[in-house]
Structure 1
């Protein structure tokens, strides 16, 4: 059994310049916990694989393609491969989301 303390993981470098911690990384899948402070957002980007997001804490806005929705804790959002997407924290509290990429991408994320 392996148990990971997400809070103890280092913040990884990323093009969005936000708190992103790799929680799981194998040859088959990858999971990252992203924390957005009030007013922070991710740049619009495209991932080469399907992604799903599970909201852990707070309220945020997700934009996928031409759609934009407000989502909160315990909501799951699916984002198909190669569709532009991004996240916003327009609230006054922390917003945390688990990002799961399956299969693990072999190419990097494309910032738009």
Structure 2
């Protein structure tokens, strides 16, 4: 059995300016833990694969296509492949989200 302790994984800054931990990075799935400080945003972008956003702490908003929803811990948002999506932490709350890309876009043929 493998146990992954997210808080013990190294954290790095992403190109979009938020903190991230790589949890799993294998061909069939990529899981990252993004941590946004109060007021931080991940601007709208698209991915070639489906993305699941599982909010594990705090409150913020997630945009998928033309829709934006306020979300909090325990909720999951589905973003289909090729649809723009964005994240934003509320001004008064940090926002921790597991981002699951299925399959891992790094493993896709170019």
* Partner Cα distance (2:91, 2:107) in 1: 32
- Residue 106 of structure 1 aligns to a residue in which SS? helix
1:5-64 per-position Cα deviation (integer Å, ceiling 9, x unaligned): 212212234221111111111121110011111010102111110011111011111111
Question: Comparing both structures, which one devotes a greater share of its residues to strand?
Answer: 2
1:90 maps to 90
* Partner Cα distance (1:54, 1:19) in 2: 16
Kindly tell me the number of residue pairs found equivalent between the two proteins. 108
- Provide structure 2 residue ranges, at least 5 long, that are not aligned to the other structure: none
* Partner Cα distance (1:27, 1:49) in 2: 12
- RMSD between superposed Cα atoms in Å: 1.6
* Partner Cα distance (2:69, 2:89) in 1: 12
40-49 or 13-22, which deviates more: 13-22
1:64-84 per-position Cα deviation (integer Å, ceiling 9, x unaligned): 111111011111100000111
With normalisation by structure 1, the TM-score equals 0.89
Q: Check if 1:104 corresponds to 2:98.
A: no
Q: Check if 1:15 corresponds to 2:45.
A: no
- Provide structure 1 residue ranges, at least 5 long, that are not aligned to the other structure: none
Question: Which residues in structure 2 correspond to 1:36-75 (within 5 Å)?
Answer: 36-75=36-75
